[in-house]
A = this chain, B = another copy of it.
Amino acid sequence: MLMILKMGVTQQQIDKLVDFIEKHKLKAHVSIGETKSIVGIIGDESKISKEHLESFDFVEKVMPVQKPYRRASREIHPENTVIDVKGVKIGGNEITMIAGPCSIESEEQAFEIATALKKMGVKVYRGSAYKPRTSPYAFQGLGLKALKILRKIGDELGLVVETELMDIRNIEVVAKHVDMIRIGARNTQNFDLLKEVGKVDKPIILKNGVSTTMEEWLFAAEYILNEGNNNVILCERGIRTYEPATRNTLNLSVIPILKELTHLPVIVDPCHAAGKRGPIPALSKASVAVGADGLLIEVHNNPQVALSDAAQQLTPKDFEILYNDLKRVAKSVDRTLV
């Protein structure tokens, strides 16, 4: 940590700060300037919190020197993490397509979509069993029934299956039925849930919250990694801005920046950010071109009767056209899309 002190700080105040630092078994380096003085901390700065230093009224600003997250950082772990889920490798040169309906609505619907996707070559199938809904009066998901359908699809069609986990009390039953667990935007900072999925032996897809910074998002990943689960996939799903033309604003700058900060795979969900079908193909192409390791796309056999996210799901036919277009874009950036 580096601290800039306010003008007019007294020697007594500086001594108080140095004393505080030394009590944490760290060393302080004081540098008295003409107008402002600076104090640096030497040693493991995670022993002391930024907010404590800020609580001294004569401290103007505090700047951390070390990256505050560790296990997620590329500084400590320079090689890309490549996650293998039943043979599908996420985070390597291949870009992974994850597709399926927003919600599992019935066995028939789920199988019809899965069969169509499987035929096109898709290897990972998505579908929610529990739905986080803004309104308590909206469809809340089929629950256990949906989990069983997903497992059946996984087994019979040889697809990797994933679903969202919201309620910590469902962790065992979810982990038992699916191959990957998704944590949605409203739970990015549900720390108790993060700790629990950190103890599970399944890859975790961790979406950003609609207003988490990249640093907070990496801290959320750190909660999972810290419990021993190294298989975390970050998924950009849009952030909240002042712009009303889309539901959220897809932040594609996240991809190159996270690729520098962390070794974890980063994928993109363009559907929830857009909130409507129109921009999804263009945003998907942009996601591939910008360097994403995968895509999460909602596909429904009859969007207009879908029980959730009706406006943003593609038909299998539209999806197939997009899937082929994306393969061309992937090739243009020297990758392959599967």
Contacts and interface: CB of A to CB of B under 8 A. Distances in A.
A12 interface: no
Classify chain A's interface size: 35 or more
A278 B304 contact: no
B33 A42 contact: yes
A7 to B, nearest CB: 5
A66 interface: yes
Contacts of A25: none
Interface stretch (A92-100, A146-154, A182-190): A182-190
A55 B304 contact: yes
A63 B65 contact: no
B274 A253 contact: yes
A51 interface: yes
A15 interface: no
Interface string A26-58: 000101010110101010001001011011110
A274 B118 CA distance: 38
A31 B313 CA distance: 29
Interface string A306-338: 101111110000000000010011011100000
A33 B44 CA distance: 11
Given A66-B36, A245-B253, A332-B329, A52 B283 contact: no
Number of copies: 4
A250 interface: yes
B244 A273 contact: no
Interface of A: 2, 4, 7, 20, 29, 31, 33, 35-36, 38, 40, 42, 46, 49, 51-52, 54-57, 61, 63, 65-66, 68-69, 75, 132-138, 166-169, 186-187, 189-192, 195, 209-211, 213-216, 219, 222-223, 226, 239-246, 249-257, 260, 273-279, 281-283, 285-291, 303-304, 306, 308-313, 325, 328-329, 331-333
24 contacts: A2-B4, A4-B63, A33-B65, A49-B138, A51-B308, A51-B312, A52-B310, A55-B303, A61-B63, A63-B63, A134-B219, A135-B222, A136-B222, A166-B192, A169-B192, A186-B189, A209-B211, A213-B242, A245-B254, A249-B251, A253-B274, A256-B283, A329-B332, A331-B332
What are the 8 closest A-B residue pairs judged by CB atoms, nearest first?
A211-B211, A289-B289, A332-B332, A286-B290, A55-B310, A256-B282, A167-B192, A256-B279
Given A211-B240, A245-B257, 13 more contacts: A2-B2, A2-B63, A38-B40, A55-B304, A169-B192, A214-B243, A239-B241, A239-B249, A249-B249, A252-B252, A256-B279, A256-B282, A331-B332
